Amino acid sequence: MADNWLDRIKWTADGLVPAIAQDAGTGRVLMMAWMNRESLRRTAECGEAVYWSRSRKELWHKGETSGHTQKIKSIRLDCDHDVLLLEIEQIGGIACHTGRQSCFFEEWRDGEWVVTDPVLKDPREMYGG
């Protein structure tokens, strides 16, 4: 596969683009992560989400450690060409490293952040403790 399709994306100065992972079945936003050219190329090739970890400065195949991979259903590019939307099937139903379905589990209510989603699996079980 030629890489010219990657040139359509407006990468940040650091060579990254934000990628939003959305459950293809429910439409719920599960997480946001960063991708670089290599991670997006690998995602397209293998059919599973591969991100760029800014903290570790390395490619991160989602679910490699936890087993909660993300099967790609579609990859979409927004109108400004600077944000990706990954429609995915979340294997195991857990996208967040806290053991929740979504990383967006806190909601602003009456002047404070309220946790709205339960922990489905103890992170120590997923990553070792």
99: in domain? no
For residue 105, give Cα distances in angstroms to 18, 29, 116, 128: 19, 10, 5, 22
52: in domain? yes
Q: What is the pLDDT of residue 127?
A: 84
15: in domain? yes
Q: 70: exposed, middle or buried (C-beta count within 10 Å: 0-12, 13-18, 19+)?
A: buried
Confidence of residue 1 (pLDDT cuts 50, 70, 90): low
44: in domain? yes
Q: Indicate the number of domains in the chain.
A: 1
- Alpha helices by DSSP H, listed for the chain, are 37-46, 123-127
User: What's the domain range around 17?
Assistant: 3-93
pTM for the whole structure: 0.93
Per-residue pLDDT tens over the stretch 54-107: 999 999 999 998 999 999 999 999 999 999 999 999 999 999 999 999 999 999
Q: Pick the closest to residue 48 from 68, 29, 77 (CA basis).
A: 68
Q: Rounded mean pLDDT of 96-124? A: 97
101: in domain? no
23 has a pLDDT exceeding 80 = yes
42: in domain? yes
